[in-house]
Structure 1
Amino acid sequence: MERTKINILEGMDHSLGRVLVKGWVRTRRDAGKFSFMEINDGSSLKNIQVIANEDLGNYPDIQKITTGTSLAVEGEMVASPGKGQKWEIQADHVDIIDIAPDTYPLQKKRHSDEFLRTIAHLRPRTNKYGAAFRIRSEMCYAIHKFYRDKGFRYLTSPLITGSDCEGAGELFRVTSLDPAEVAKQGKMDFARDFFGQESNLTVSGQLSAEMFALALGDVYTFGPTFRAENSNTSRHAAEFWMLEPEMAFCDLQGNMDHGEELVKTLVAHAMDNCEEDLALFSKFVDKGLPKLMDTIIHQEFQRLTYAEAIDILEKSKKKFEFKVEYGVDLQSEHERFLAEEHFQKPVFLIDYPREIKPFYMRMNDDGKTVAAMDLLVPRIGELIGGSQREERLDRLETRMEEMNLPRDPYWWYLDSRRYGSVPHSGFGMGFERFLMMITGISNIRDVIPFPRTPGSIDF
């Protein structure tokens, strides 16, 4: 008999007859001649109740079943007279796959997030994290569906690269050199390394995406990126996923239009397809989630310049930890004030000072600002960061000189401006930050299956 999933059972409005369910025991109790078990198979937030009676040949073994034990149960699916459940299984066969010992750490109580991070290999079995990672899976599908429906091509950009897209230098080096030999020589001889030059894990797939956008039109890359930033905040991780669309013949306004459509579509998809799991977060994590998602879907996002935002922040009576002044990059507290308190909806900021943005952003006519755009959302701050790219070769070379960037490693990037350059734009959306926004989870470590942070690479 084919295995039946619990999420399928919950959607039925008539008896399925005989079913086979495989999963893990959440609770078990004896009452008279019966043993009642709650089983979850990971397909749904809800459990299914299994009733085993003393006539079963292995009933004495069933009475020894503990929380965490894995089972295969076969029996009749019948309407349940109990409250809070539609169906139950009257078992005629219970196969005990593996008994969990009493040391199983997930008992029937609420565990702290801090504790669950120490057992990240088991936390998906809890209600909260099972729901979080089902939502993560569904949103990965939603991203690919959104871009396929719009005719974009998916690019698998390289994870190992010789380029530093952001120019910040916070990179994980990749090398095959023997550490002991390097220590003996006192330096790294990259000419003897695997690639014959310095290489690192990518911080962005953008530069690769630009090359393909200038050939295929509209593309996107979606995968892991890495940053060796020694930060222990709730918003940063060393390994995180980035969605990066790149669009040919697209200016800054079109870039913002695309970002707004993307976020609205993904939130609507989550509400339509993750209703049960989102309800858990609305009830126990952040009761304001339904209002936030309704705002995102039904209100137009605010758009204003960086200079206008600075003016609003300076005139506000809010006391910030970090000083607000023109020419300084905004901190999370400034971004959240604009999105949460002042406008109370998502906000696009554009036209940042050239000094605080990377070399590839298009210079505006004023010669002082670049065609950058950031999307700020309530609770999170920056969700999306992007720009119209500098398509003019002479301007791009000038910017690289100003920032002391060598041309040789970027010869291929400059070629794209030399041979049939066109206006194009794109952005990066932090996937984990999006998940934090729709679940109310406040720490990025709790929306990544196995988080990589400074001093932590367990699991």
Structure 2
Amino acid sequence: MIRTNVAELLSSDNFLHEIIVKGWVRTFRANRFIALNDGSTINNIQCVVDFENTDETILKRITTGAAISVKGTLIESLGKGQSVEIQVSEIEILGDSNPEEYPIQPKKHSLEFLRENAHLRIRTNTFSAVMRVRSALSFAIHKYFTENGFYNFHAPIITGSDAEGAGEMFTVTTLNPENPPKNEDGTIDYSKDFFGKNTNLTVSGQLEAETYAMALGKVYTFGPTFRAENSNTTRHLAEFWMIEPEVAFNNLDDNMDLAEDFIKSVISYILQNCKDDLEFLDNRLTQEEKSKPAAERSEMSLIEKLKFVVENNFIRVSYTEAIDILKNSKPNKKKKFQFLIDEWGADLQSEHERYLVEKHFKSPVILFDYPASIKAFYMRLNDDGKTVRAMDVLFPGIGEIVGGSQREERLDILKQKIKELNIDEKELWWYLDTRKFGTAVHSGFGLGFERLVQFTTGMSNIRDVIPYPRTPQNAEF
């Protein structure tokens, strides 16, 4: 007999037929009621045991975390909380779980405790819900780009260039760390290394994606990226996934259109396809908000935030206009902002971005035309000589979620910006080539996947939306 998953059984009305279901025991009450879950849904199915006719040895082995196979008859439930249940005729223990050692007991555990047991935390309702939503988002992303004529491009993970120009990169080397070869000036001689040069783990696939957009027209990357930023905040990871579309002939307005349509599409997908998980996460967040001081509580529930994004047009505002709004805002005048806005050119913080979205416009916001001094070298310089064709998408509760730009397609200006930032032009010869041979206006953006999962699940710490977080001093599992 073929195994049927729990999600299918819970939506079935085909009663009085024999089925087999396999999963893990969540709870076992009164030697009679097993709550069984197989990961196909956040909901458990109740299996009712005839304990008088079941071997006592088997009953003792039905403990939280044990893997079991249940054969029985699907019937309409007599109890509250479920529409169907299984009248058990046979139980097989597939894998025992020692209740004295198993850490994921049926009680509330702190998120810190669960991070220490990341190999088992997926067995909780919270993390199984988060990871099912993460999986659905991943599918929705590929679905959107495929249906809109994009080609998936696998950017290299090992690179010789620093796309962000920030220098926060992990070195890739096979040299002996205790006795590496040295140049005459005492620096490490990377010509003796595996790749013959200094190489790193990538911080972005954007530069390589630009080269492919110049031939395929519309491409996107969706892969792991790395940043050696010594930050232990709830918003940063050393290893994370990035979605980066790049489109030939798109200007900044086209780029903003794409970002808005893309985000609305993938969030709409999970609203339609992850209802049970989102309802659970919504309730979880509501309870979490109650423990916060009133002033810090969110005005919207999780599902309301998602609908807020999908149902509102994104307001487009220039950086200059945003600075004027923030300078004249009550929080700034009353010095309530942690980072006060005094003058044009300030790098906006999350508190400023959230104010614009949640208080001033009450809508998702796209800021554009940022000061060149606070943005990357590859962003197109405007005619005013001081701003670039950059854009950021701002969301409630999180601030910036997308960053992008129209790229600088003019070779002379790009070379000048590289020189001003002391970037070695020789390292980017291949990137500059694309400005020599058939250059064209093109644009793209980057969306940190974990940031998107964090927003859509309501999790407050980014370490709780990736299976095994990599952060400073932490590479366990």
TM category (shorter chain) comes to over 0.9
Equivalent positions of 1:415-454 (< 5 A) are 415-454=433-472
Aligned to 2:9: 9
Equivalent pair of 1:40/1:48 in contact (CA under 8 Å): yes
1:335 counterpart (338, 350, 353): 353
Equivalent pair of 1:30/1:63 in contact (CA under 8 Å): no
Aligned to 2:83: 86
Code of the residue aligned with 1:9 in structure 2: it is: L
Alpha-carbon distance in 1 for matches of 2:231, 2:211? 32
Aligned to 2:92: 95
Alignment pair present for 1:68 and 2:68: no
Aligned to 1:173: 171
Alpha-carbon distance in 1 for matches of 2:14, 2:3? 18
Alpha-carbon distance in 2 for matches of 1:291, 1:118? 32
Cα root mean square deviation, aligned: 1.5
Equivalent positions of 1:111-122 (< 5 A) are 111-122=109-120
Alpha-carbon distance in 1 for matches of 2:181, 2:338? 42
Alignment pair present for 1:323 and 2:321: no
Q: Per-residue CA shift, 1:176-209, capped at 9, x if unaligned?
A: 1011112999642100001000000000000111
* CA apart distance, 1:251: 0.2
2:368 counterpart (347, 350, 354): 350
Aligned to 1:148: 146
- Stretch deviating more after TM superposition (179-188 or 75-84): 179-188
Structure 1: stretches of 5+ with no match in the other structure: none
* CA apart distance, 1:222: 0.3
Instruction: Describe the SS at the equivalent of 1:180.
Output: coil
Code of the residue aligned with 2:468 in structure 1: it is: F
Q: Per-residue CA shift, 1:279-302, capped at 9, x if unaligned?
A: 011112146122222221111101
Aligned to 2:205: 205
Alignment pair present for 1:233 and 2:233: yes
* CA apart distance, 1:331: 1.2
* CA apart distance, 1:57: 5.6
Instruction: Describe the SS at the equivalent of 1:182.
Output: coil
Aligned to 2:41: 44
Equivalent pair of 1:56/1:92 in contact (CA under 8 Å): no
Structure 2: stretches of 5+ with no match in the other structure: 287-299
* CA apart distance, 1:55: 5.9
- Stretch deviating more after TM superposition (407-416 or 5-14): 5-14
Aligned to 1:21: 21
1:296 counterpart (301, 309, 317): 309
Equivalent pair of 2:61/2:93 in contact (CA under 8 Å): no
* CA apart distance, 1:395: 1.2
Instruction: Describe the SS at the equivalent of 2:180.
Output: helix
Equivalent pair of 2:317/2:368 in contact (CA under 8 Å): yes
Aligned to 2:292: none
Instruction: Describe the SS at the equivalent of 2:330.
Output: coil
Equivalent pair of 2:235/2:462 in contact (CA under 8 Å): yes
Change (3 A) 1:183 1:106: farther
Equivalent pair of 2:182/2:188 in contact (CA under 8 Å): no
Q: Per-residue CA shift, 1:377-416, capped at 9, x if unaligned?
A: 1111110000000111111111111111111010000000
Equivalent positions of 1:158-307 (< 5 A) are 158-182=156-180, 187-286=187-286, 288-307=301-320
Code of the residue aligned with 1:424 in structure 2: it is: H
Change (3 A) 1:56 1:163: farther
Instruction: Describe the SS at the equivalent of 1:257.
Output: helix
Alpha-carbon distance in 2 for matches of 1:257, 1:7? 37
Equivalent pair of 1:304/1:349 in contact (CA under 8 Å): yes
Alpha-carbon distance in 1 for matches of 2:193, 2:249? 40
Equivalent pair of 2:181/2:189 in contact (CA under 8 Å): no
Q: Percent identity?
A: 52
- Stretch deviating more after TM superposition (46-55 or 226-235): 46-55
Alpha-carbon distance in 2 for matches of 1:390, 1:129? 42
Q: Per-residue CA shift, 1:308-362, capped at 9, x if unaligned?
A: 1111111111121113232121111111111122212211010011111111000
Alpha-carbon distance in 2 for matches of 1:38, 1:74? 14
Q: Per-residue CA shift, 1:240-273, capped at 9, x if unaligned?
A: 1110000011000000000000111111101000
Code of the residue aligned with 1:385 in structure 2: it is: G
Alpha-carbon distance in 1 for matches of 2:366, 2:51? 65
Q: Per-residue CA shift, 1:413-454, capped at 9, x if unaligned?
A: 000000001100000011111111111111100101100111
- Stretch deviating more after TM superposition (321-330 or 409-418): 321-330
Q: Per-residue CA shift, 1:36-70, capped at 9, x if unaligned?
A: 21111111111011122246563432234211111
- Stretch deviating more after TM superposition (73-82 or 58-67): 58-67
Code of the residue aligned with 1:157 in structure 2: it is: A
Q: Per-residue CA shift, 1:24-43, capped at 9, x if unaligned?
A: 11111235xxx221111111
Equivalent positions of 1:98-109 (< 5 A) are 98-101=95-98, 102-109=100-107
2:108 counterpart (103, 110, 116): 110
Aligned to 1:362: 380
Q: Per-residue CA shift, 1:190-243, capped at 9, x if unaligned?
A: 000010000000000001110110000000000111000011111111011110
Equivalent pair of 1:20/1:75 in contact (CA under 8 Å): yes
Equivalent pair of 2:182/2:189 in contact (CA under 8 Å): no
Code of the residue aligned with 1:40 in structure 2: it is: N
Alpha-carbon distance in 2 for matches of 1:177, 1:56? 66
Change (3 A) 1:11 1:393: same
Instruction: Describe the SS at the equivalent of 1:169.
Output: coil
